[in-house]
């Protein structure tokens, strides 16, 4: 459906939903030109830990945040444990790293490996499976701050090739990947190094279809990372058949994460092709430190700023139509149009809420909407329209109305660092993580009009002290 048709449909839905005799308030929003440091997307910093050394520090993450980054790639080299269980020291480093990441309001992409070059030893399968079992309780307890995990463990850099212990056979790759999928909660995804690895492991050629996206099956939870993006015609062996496999990724990565890094300058990394490939393959995140020559080329050719803005999702509010004056117990009608100008969509679960705030008392009520923002695809214009019931005892007065896309995880739900900011001027409220819809809802006490009898009701909103629940593990 084209954008004109969608605009007409949104206005029609708004008119049909509007309560008889209730005046609608229309709002238009102004797109922002700023880069938005939203969760689970953008440039990331790679921070590496060698065996029993280099725990994360708050200062390292603070430096990342000053660069507008919300993500790190946390690389663990376990070379000291190729033939033995992980030590308590190593496990405590991993455990504490997650606490530091959460305290900083960031997320990570973890990867574990034994070798940092071709020819170096990795570990036998029994050792790998034992290490995964040791890490399981830590990973499960901290999955809220894992954006996605990379399969790792096998061969050089954990890239699933060049194993010295035969881990890069399809049988062994399948064993390791499936065990990691069982370790992670079902709403989290794992990235593999090449598309043909995934297809061979699952013995399936077809990409994920929309009907099976996010259904928590193993196949729907495996995404992709390319650590030699734009290096040459096949990205240094990332593709066995570049034309066919990039088309596969173009369809598949609508619903799973694509990210990674560049590894050398080439003519393929010219700006025009870079933007074209990022749009086609739906890139969500990229290493900010490698390759320096490629990054410098993007700056020199003036596409770096566009990449910063468009990696992952970028939601812009376009217009809204809302009931302007209501009474307690009425239904509040809303219709909001937005678009995604990013390269990709969200790949992890995320709530969509309407929040109303009494301006005098600052008391809030919220309703969770049925929409799934993971389907707000790049290039699409989306219409959110419906009705939600106001409480019968809602105080009279003026109300601000917000659109909120919080992280659904309990420890993160009320933390602004983990909420999605829309790319519009004068809408973001940093103290709460809400997006201000820029209109006033007037509530007049006393019965008037039709009382709401639907499924969606505003409920009193109580934010826990400190904005999050207590830590665990």
Q: What is the pLDDT of residues 176-200, one digit of tens each?
A: 999 999 999 999 999 999 999 999 9
Omega into 410 within 30° of 0, i.e. cis? no
Q: What is the DSSP letter of 147?
A: S
In 105-144, which ranges are E strands?
107-113
State how far the alpha carbon of 268 is from the alpha carbons of 61, 258, 333, in Å.
Answer: 32, 18, 49
What's residue 446's pLDDT?
81
Q: Strands 285-287 and 42-49, how do they pair?
A: parallel
Q: Which residues partner with 389 through β-bridges?
A: 331, 457
Residue 2 has pLDDT above 60, yes or no: no
State how far the alpha carbon of 300 is from the alpha carbons of 34, 271, 287, 290, in Å.
Answer: 20, 9, 18, 16
d(CA 298, CA 230): 12
pLDDT digits (tens, 9 = 90+) for 261-287: 999 999 999 999 999 999 999 999 999
Length of the chain: 473
Do 282 and 258 meet the contact criterion of CB atoms below 8 Å apart? Answer: yes
What's residue 20's pLDDT?
54
Residue 468 has pLDDT above 70, yes or no: no
CA angle (238 as vertex; 233, 242 as ends), nearest 5: 45
pLDDT band at 463 (very low <50, low <70, confident <90, very high): confident
Cβ neighbors of 63 (< 8 A, separation 6 or more) are none
3-state helix, strand, coil in the chain (%, to 5): 30, 25, 45
Do 110 and 149 meet the contact criterion of CB atoms below 8 Å apart? Answer: yes
What's residue 450's pLDDT?
87
As given in the structure block, the two tokens for residue 62 are: 């603070």
pLDDT digits (tens, 9 = 90+) for 359-386: 999 999 999 999 999 999 999 999 999 9
d(CA 350, CA 276): 28
Q: What is the DSSP letter of 80?
A: G
d(CA 191, CA 259): 9
């Amino acid at each position: 459906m084209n954008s004109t048709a969608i605009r007409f449909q949104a206005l029609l839905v708004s008119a049909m939903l509007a309560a008889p005799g209730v005046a609608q308030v229309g709002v238009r929003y102004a797109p922002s030109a700023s880069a938005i440091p939203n969760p689970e997307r953008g440039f990331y910093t790679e921070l590496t830990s060698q065996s029993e050394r280099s725990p994360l520090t708050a200062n390292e993450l603070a430096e990342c945040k000053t660069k507008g980054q919300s993500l790190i790639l946390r690389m663990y080299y376990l070379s000291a444990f190729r033939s033995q269980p992980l030590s308590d020291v190593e496990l405590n480093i991993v455990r504490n790293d997650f606490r530091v990441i959460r305290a900083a309001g960031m997320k990570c992409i973890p990867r574990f490996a034994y070798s940092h070059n071709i020819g170096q030893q990795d570990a036998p399968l029994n050792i790998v499976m034992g290490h995964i079992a040791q890490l399981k309780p830590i990973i499960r307890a901290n999955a809220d701050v894992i954006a996605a995990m990379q399969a790792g463990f096998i061969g050089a850099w954990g890239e699933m090739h060049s194993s010295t212990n035969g881990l890069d056979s399809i049988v062994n790759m399948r064993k390791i990947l499936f065990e990691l999928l069982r370790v992670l909660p079902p709403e989290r995804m794992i990235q593999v190094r090449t598309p043909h690895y995934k297809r061979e492991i699952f013995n399936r050629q077809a990409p994920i279809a929309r009907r099976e996206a996010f259904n928590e099956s193993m196949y729907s939870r495996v995404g992709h990372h390319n650590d030699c993006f734009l290096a040459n015609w096949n990205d240094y062996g990332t593709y066995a058949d570049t034309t066919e496999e990039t088309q596969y990724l173009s369809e598949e990565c609508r619903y799973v994460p694509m990210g990674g890094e560049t590894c050398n300058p080439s003519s393929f990394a010219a700006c025009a092709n870079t933007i074209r490939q990022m749009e086609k393959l739906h890139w969500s995140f990229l290493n900010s430190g490698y390759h320096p020559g490629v990054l410098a080329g993007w700056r020199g050719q003036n596409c770096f700023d566009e990449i910063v803005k468009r990696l992952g999702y970028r939601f812009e509010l376009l217009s809204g139509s809302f009931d302007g004056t209501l009474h307690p117990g009425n239904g509040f009608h809303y219709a909001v149009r937005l678009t995604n100008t990013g390269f990709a969509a969200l790949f992890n679960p995320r709530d969509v809420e309407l929040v109303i705030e009494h301006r005098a008392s600052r008391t809030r009520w919220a309703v969770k909407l049925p929409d799934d923002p993971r389907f707000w695809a790049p290039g699409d214009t989306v219409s959110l329209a419906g009705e939600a019931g106001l409480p019968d005892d809602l105080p009279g007065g003026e109300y601000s109305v917000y659109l909120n896309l919080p992280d659904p995880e309990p420890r993160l739900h009320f933390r602004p660092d983990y909420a999605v900011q829309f790319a519009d001027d004068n809408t973001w409220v940093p103290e709460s993580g809400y997006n201000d819809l820029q209109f006033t809802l007037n509530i007049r006490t006393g019965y008037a009009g039709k009382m709401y009898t639907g499924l969606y009701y505003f409920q009193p909103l109580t934010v826990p002290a400190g904005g999050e629940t207590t830590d665990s593990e």
